[in-house]
RNA sequence: GGAGAAAUGGCAGAGUGGUCGAAUGCGGCAGUCUUGAAAACUGUUGAGGGUCACACCUCCGGGGGUUCGAAUCCCUCUUUCUCCGCCA
């Protein structure tokens, strides 16, 4: 969430930049500032009341010690009024503070100045393109047909044991999936990311920390018996690793990578867009995450983008990079680059990675801070990205690497798969 | 799952109703000494709110309660440890 102090000092700029998301935030911002003013006024009143009551208590203690019980009892009566006052004040204060927080939770991050304005994915700005789109033979198939033909992914079996959106990978399909995970993790650790294995269920506090709660509750699977949530992305447990941390400047940057399955309830649309691997309730993803000094976070974003580019280049998949427009930008992000692989057989682009700088938006809610060189406490910047999301990479490989007599395995993956062709 | 014990500052660890935001040690930072370093010595060193700055307020695992007053007493939740049971 945004910092109130920042809103106070940059009110017009905040409103102007939020307009890129096609929202008029002026009313919300005014409300925030009004609530904050009320909150501070109540805080001052409460503090004064408590201060008075504290000093009376001290006096009472001293009177009792010197045997002046009668005088002490007189003072005691005085404190009861103060007690009632402070009770009322603190209730009023909590109410204001809750209202303020609730409102702040609803305001998305302020987009970076280079974010293009716009409404839909049509308005995203293509900033880079690389790789040749292969010319496939005339009866080339989409990946869901290939999956059936070579018996490597079984969607029906998944329906039987769980439901739609939970595929079963089989034989060389399962092995290819495992190869990709290992390959991605190796690339990430080579680039300096520390590998972690994370829990796949998180508690409520973690859901709040990264902003899935309270608003996007319906997007996660909820284990009601224990009040835990299945993670929608490794971002949730990985970022919460640092919740409530106060780092020293020399601890920065932190760079971690982890593989997890991801669970998402969202229903999605229909037809080809959700066909096969395009949209699933459970899928695998390798994530990269950084905690950075505010001065360095945009350099870090560039490094992350370059890193993902390197992987796609090695896999020899045709891809493009989009700078997301305000309307398409995630709630917590200040700047996001999406990577899309071209699926030749489907004749469309498939999103396979999303790399974002959240600046201090997540860190504020997480209370993730560091001591700067002046000894002052400052919020860190957080960034994360997929490196990479498995299903669509798999779809892209199956479709783009198909030949009349089987599916070729990209060269860099052969050491991981142990076979060259499906 | 059952029985018991515990949770205090970056770490270790004292503190059982007012003099406690909290002894002491380690660590960190600054200084003295030194060609430099180490050692030794001196000083300093939690977070949040609030203020122009002070004052002041809150925080001793989380939440609630008793009391004029709570790190300290009570309730509750969570976590950790020990023992028993079960188990990949």
CA atoms within 13 A on the CB side of A254: 24
d(CA A276, CA A173): 14
**If we measure between CA atoms, which residue out of A338, A314, A343, A326 comes closest to residue A409?**
A314
For residues A233 and A221, give the distance between their C-alpha atoms in angstroms, rounded to a whole number: 12
pLDDT at A268 over 60: no
Check: CATH 3.40.50.720 for A121-417?
A: no
> pLDDT (tens digit, 9 = 90+) per residue, A272-327?
566 788 889 999 999 999 999 999 999 999 999 999 999 999 999 999 999 999 99
Q: Give the separation between CA A320 and CA A317, rounded to whole angstroms.
A: 10
Q: For chain A, how big is the Rg over CA atoms in Å?
A: 27
Split at pLDDT 50, 70, 90, the class of A87 is confident
Q: What pLDDT does residue A136 have? A: 82
Question: Which nucleotide lies nearest residue A376, CA to C1'?
Answer: B47
CATH of domain A4-106: 1.10.287.40
Nearest-nucleotide field for A226 (CA, C1'): B78
Distances (CA, A) of A347 to A125, A313, A322: 20, 20, 18
Q: How far is the CA of A243 from the C1' of B85 (A)?
A: 36
Q: Can you give the distance from the CA of residue A52 to the C1' of nucleotide B53 in angstroms?
A: 23
Question: CA at A363, C1' at B26: how many angstroms apart?
Answer: 31
Q: What is the 3-state secondary structure (H, E, C) of chain A?
A: CCCHHHHHHCHHHHHHHHHHHCCCCHHHHHHHHHHHHHHHHHHHHHHHHHHHHHHHHHHHHHHHHCCCHHHHHHHHHHHHHHHHHHHHHHHHHHHHHHHHHHHHHHCCCCCCCCCCCCCCHHHCEEEEEECCCCCCCCCCCCHHHHHHHCCCEEHHHHHHHCCCCCCEECHHHHHHHHHHHHHHHHHHHHCCCEEECCCCEECHHHHHHCCCCCCCHHHCCEECCCCEEECCCCHHHHHHCCCCCEEEHHHCCEEEEEEEEEECCCCCCCHHHHCCCCCCCEEEEEEEEEEECHHHHHHHHHHHHHHHHHHHHHHCCCEEEEECCCCCCCCCCCEEEEEEEEECCCCEEEEEEEEEECCCHHHHHHCCEEECCCCCEEECEEEEEEEEEHHHHHHHHHHHCEECCEEECCHHHHHHHCCCEC
Token duo for residue A360: 């201090």
Question: By mean pLDDT, which of A258-262, A297-301, A364-368 is the weakest?
Answer: A364-368
C-beta separation of A176 from A412 below 8 A: no
Burial (0-12, 13-18, 19+ Cβ within 10 Å), A101: middle
Name the residues contacting strand B (CB < 7 Å). Answer: A 40, 43-44, 46-48, 50-51, 53-58, 60-61, 64, 76, 79-80, 83, 246, 369, 371, 377
- Distance between CA A26 and CA A334 in Å, rounded? 19
Nucleotides of B under 7 A from a protein CB: 10, 18, 46-51, 55-58, 68-69
First to last CA, chain A: 48
Rounded, the Å distance between the CA of A373 and C1' of B35 is 30
A250-259 pLDDT, tens per residue?
888 899 999 9
Q: Which residues pair with A421 in a beta bridge?
A: A408
Two structure tokens written together for A185: 């993790």
Domain ranges of chain A: 4-106, 121-417
Closest residue by Cα to the C1' atom of nucleotide B78?
A: A203
Q: CA–C1' span, A189 to B52, in Å?
A: 49
pLDDT digits (tens, 9 = 90+) for A7-38: 998 999 999 999 999 999 999 999 999 999 99
Please give the nucleotide, over all strands, whose C1' is closest to the CA of residue A375: B29
The structure tokens listed for A155 are 């969607």
Report ipTM (2 d.p.). Answer: 0.83
| pLDDT tens per residue across span A162-220 | 988 899 999 999 999 999 999 999 999 999 999 999 999 998 888 888 888 877 778 89
Query: Among A412, A390, A394, A383, which Cα is nearest to A193's?
Result: A383
Residue A270's pLDDT is what?
57
């Amino acid at each position: 969430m945004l910092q109130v102090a920042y809103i106070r000092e940059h009110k017009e700029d905040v409103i102007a930049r939020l307009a890129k998301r096609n929202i008029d935030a002026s009313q919300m911002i005014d409300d925030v500032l009004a609530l904050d003013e009320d909150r501070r006024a109540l805080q001052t009143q409460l503090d004064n009341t408590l201060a008075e009551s504290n000093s009376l208590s001290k006096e009472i203690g001293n009177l009792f010690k010197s045997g002046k019980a009668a005088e002490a009892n007189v003072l005691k009566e005085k404190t009861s009024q103060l007690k009632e006052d402070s009770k009322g004040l603190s209730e009023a204060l909590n109410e204001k503070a809750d209202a303020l927080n609730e409102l702040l939770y609803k305001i998305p991050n302020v987009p970076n100045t280079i974010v293009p304005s716009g409404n839909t994915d049509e308005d995203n700005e293509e900033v880079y393109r690389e790789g040749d789109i292969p010319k496939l033979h005339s009866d080339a198939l989409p990946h869901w047909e290939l999956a059936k033909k070579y018996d490597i992914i079984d969607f029906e079996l998944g329906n039987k044991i769980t439901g739609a959106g939970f595929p079963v990978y089989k034989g060389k399909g399962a092995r290819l999936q495992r190869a990709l995970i290992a390959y991605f993790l190796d690339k990430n650790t080579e680039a300096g990311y520390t590998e972690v294995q994370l829990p796949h269920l998180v508690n409520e506090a973690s859901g709040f920390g990264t902003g899935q709660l309270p608003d996007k509750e319906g997007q996660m699977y909820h284990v009601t018996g224990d009040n835990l949530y299945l993670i929608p992305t490794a971002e949730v447990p990985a970022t919460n690793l640092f919740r409530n941390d106060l780092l020293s400047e020399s601890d920065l940057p932190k760079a971690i990578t982890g593989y997890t399955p991801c669970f998402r309830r969202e229903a999605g649309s229909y037809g080809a867009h959700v066909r096969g691997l395009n949209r699933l309730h459970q899928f695998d993803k390798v994530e990269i995450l950084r905690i950075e000094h505010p001065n360095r976070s945009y350099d870090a974003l560039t490094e992350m983008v370059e890193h993902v580019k390197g992987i796609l280049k090695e896999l020899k998949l045709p891809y493009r990079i989009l700078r997301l427009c305000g309307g398409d930008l995630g709630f917590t992000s200040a700047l996001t680059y999406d990577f899309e692989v071209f699926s030749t057989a489907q004749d469309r682009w498939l999103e396979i990675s999303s790399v974002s700088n959240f600046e201090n938006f997540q860190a504020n809610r997480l209370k993730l801070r560091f001591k700067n060189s002046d000894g002052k406490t400052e919020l860190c910047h957080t960034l994360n990205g997929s490196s990479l999301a498995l299903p669509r990479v798999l779809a892209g490989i199956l479709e783009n690497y198909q030949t009349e007599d089987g599916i070729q395995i990209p060269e860099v993956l052969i050491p991981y798969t142990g076979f060259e062709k499906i």
